[in-house]
Amino acid sequence: MSHAGYIDSNVLIKTEGLKVYFVKGGFLSEKQITKAVDGVDMKINKGEVMALVGESGSGKTTLGRAMIGLQKPTDGKIIYNRDNNPIIITPKTKIIKHIRKELQMVYQDPYSSIDPYMKVYDALSMPLKYAKIKNKESINKKIEEVLNMVGLPLDLINNYVFQLSGGQRQRLSIARALSLDPRFLVADEPVTMLDASLKGEIVDLLKKINKKTGITILFITHELPIAKIIANRISVMYKGKIVESGRAQTVLTDPLHPYTQVLLEAYPKINPESKDTIKTIKVKESNISASKIKGCPFYDRCPFATQKCLEKMPDIKSISSDHEVACWLY
């Protein structure tokens, strides 16, 4: 645990120049480097819900995992403001048990993130046992508390996980994460695998939990409308870089980055009148090899791209009090 230097007291967790590169091959075959996270500066304030929005392959899951120490960064820092005592998070953070507790995760697939052959009671009590809550009574009390919080009936504890539906399992997943009283919760596409009719419940649940306990949430998703419902702030990610971020309302009603703009345009809206109109999608076909682009990752698809965009990565500019964009248009 080394001291990380200055961090704003409002901020719970932040990244500085975070890079996560995956290297395949290298010994006998050609090295293939995937730049999943390519220089990300992100700040998440205490008690807020930050939505990390991006398509699959944008690196958002890797970013989320790195932030809680599940993925070793290739470069850069992750600073966790623990009671005004900043700590750098590394994969070794798990060894320090009380830190590990505070950074939790809810996974995308409720069918594989909890062992289906476990009893619900065991799934909930085990983390508590190893968090040094030895007293059986306290454990049971905590279990009752979190089950209440996620809206699952108490008598479910005698069931096996495989007897639960997808929606119930996801609630259980949330309950399990909450039982350790975490400060920061990374929710990695928590509703993507659920039916449309269930998405609302889980999103509402997380919203409620955030309001009630003040827990900070990083909500990772590729579904913009879902982000809109729950997020205080949004960061839009494209090919490993944050291209735009700010207050959810602002970003969604007044998108600045061409990518954000085209994303919002392309997203289906309830609009039966438009059934015969061709939507304008302001995006070029990609035809340049990714490795040749030294600057903005959106260069090859951006209708406004210039030579500068090809060569240099845009700086992050603050357009208004809580709206930043990384684009040479500004």
Partner 1 sequence: MPLLSVRDFSIHFYTPKGVRKAVDRVNLDLSKKEVIGIAGESGSGKSTLAMGIMRLITPPGKIVGGKILFNNEDILSYNEGKFNKEIRWKKISMIFQGSMNGFTPVFKIGQQIEEVLEIHEYKGNFKERVNELLKMVELDPSVSDKYPHELSGGMRQRAFIAMALALNPEILICDEPTTALDVITQAKIINLLKTLKKDLGLSIIFITHDLALLSEISDRLYIMYAGGIMESGYSLDLYKNPKHPYTQLLMDSIADINKDYIKGIPGFMPDLANLPKGCRFSDRCPYAMEICKQKEPELKRIEGDRYVSCWLY
Partner 2 sequence: MAAETGIKLYLNTILKNKSGLIGLLMIIIFVALSIYAVTAYSNVNNEWKNGMYWESYPKNAMPYWMSYFNPQKIFGTETLTTKPSLLYSSSNYYIYQLNYNFTWSKDIPPTDVIFYIKSSTPMESIQILWIKPDGTNITLSTTSQPSSYTDLISLSSSIKSYMSEQIGYVPPTVTPQLLSQSLFGYEGKGLLNGTIEKGLYKVQVTIVTSPNTKILINKLYLEGNAYGLFGTDIYGRPIDLGILLGLPNALEIGLLTSIISVIGGVIIGGISGFLGGKTDSAMNWVTLVILVLPALPFLVVLSYVMRPNLFLEALLIAFLSWPFYAIIARSAAQSIKNMTFVEADKVLGIPSYRTFFTHFMPRLTPFAIAYTALGVPGAIILVETLSFLGLTPAGLVTWGSILDSAESNFAAVNGWWWWILFPGLMIILVSIPFVMIGFSIEKAVFGGK
Among 27, 29, 31, 117, indicate the residue that binds partner 2 (CB under 8 A).
Answer: 117
Q: How far apart are CA 300 and CA 288, in angstroms?
A: 6
Q: How far is CA 132 from the centre of its chain?
A: 28
Which residues, in sequence order, are CB contacts of 50 under 8 Å at separation 6+?
Answer: 42, 44, 216, 217, 218, 219, 231, 232, 233, 234, 235
Single out the segment in contact with partner 1 by CB under 8 A; choices: 75-83, 84-92, 139-147, 261-269.
261-269
Contacted entry of partner 1, partner 2, none for residue 275, CB cut-off 5 to 8 Å set by kind? partner 1
Which residues, in sequence order, are CB contacts of 6 under 8 Å at separation 6+?
Answer: 86
CB of 143 to partner 2, least distance (A): 14
**Position 68 contacts partner 2 (CB under 8 A):** yes
Task: Report the residue number, 122 or 322, with the smaller CB distance to partner 2.
Answer: 122
Q: Which of 236, 235, 242 is nearest to 313 (CA)?
A: 242
Among 99, 224, 256, 293, indicate the residue that binds partner 1 (CB under 8 A).
Answer: 224
**Position 290 contacts partner 1 (CB under 8 A):** no
**Position 27 contacts partner 2 (CB under 8 A):** no
Question: Site mask, partner 1, residues 114-143, x = CB under 8 A?
Answer: ------------------------------
Q: How far apart are CA 72 and CA 88, in angstroms?
A: 12
Which residues from 159-188 bind partner 2, rule CB under 8 A?
160, 162, 173, 176-177, 180
3-state class of 197 per DSSP? helix
Whether 318 and 300 have beta carbons less than 8 Å apart is answered as: no
Which residues from 205-244 bind partner 2, rule CB under 8 A?
none
Single out the segment in contact with partner 1 by CB under 8 A; choices: 19-27, 99-107, 191-199, 210-218.
191-199
**Position 97 contacts partner 2 (CB under 8 A):** yes
Single out the segment in contact with partner 1 by CB under 8 A; choices: 82-90, 129-137, 210-218, 219-227.
219-227
Q: How far apart are CA 215 and CA 329, in angstroms?
A: 36
Residue 109 — left, alpha, or beta (φ > 0 → left; ψ -120 to 50 → alpha)?
Answer: beta
Residue 152 — left, alpha, or beta (φ > 0 → left; ψ -120 to 50 → alpha)?
Answer: beta
Among 33, 96, 154, 266, indicate the residue that binds partner 1 (CB under 8 A).
Answer: 266
**Position 322 contacts partner 1 (CB under 8 A):** no
CB of 286 to partner 2, least distance (A): 32
Which own/partner pairs from 149-153 qualify as long-range (CB within 8 Å, at least 24 positions apart)? 149/175, 149/178, 149/209, 149/212, 150/174, 150/175, 150/178, 150/205, 150/209, 151/205
Residue 132 — left, alpha, or beta (φ > 0 → left; ψ -120 to 50 → alpha)?
Answer: left
Task: Report the residue number, 140 or 261, with the smaller CB distance to partner 1.
Answer: 261
3-state class of 67 per DSSP? helix
Residues of this chain that interact with partner 1 (CB under 8 A) are 55-56, 165, 195-201, 203, 222-226, 228-229, 252, 262-279, 281, 283, 286
- The footprint of partner 2 (CB under 8 A) covers 68, 70, 94, 97, 100-101, 103-105, 107, 109, 112-115, 117-118, 122, 126-127, 130-131, 160, 162, 173, 176-177, 180
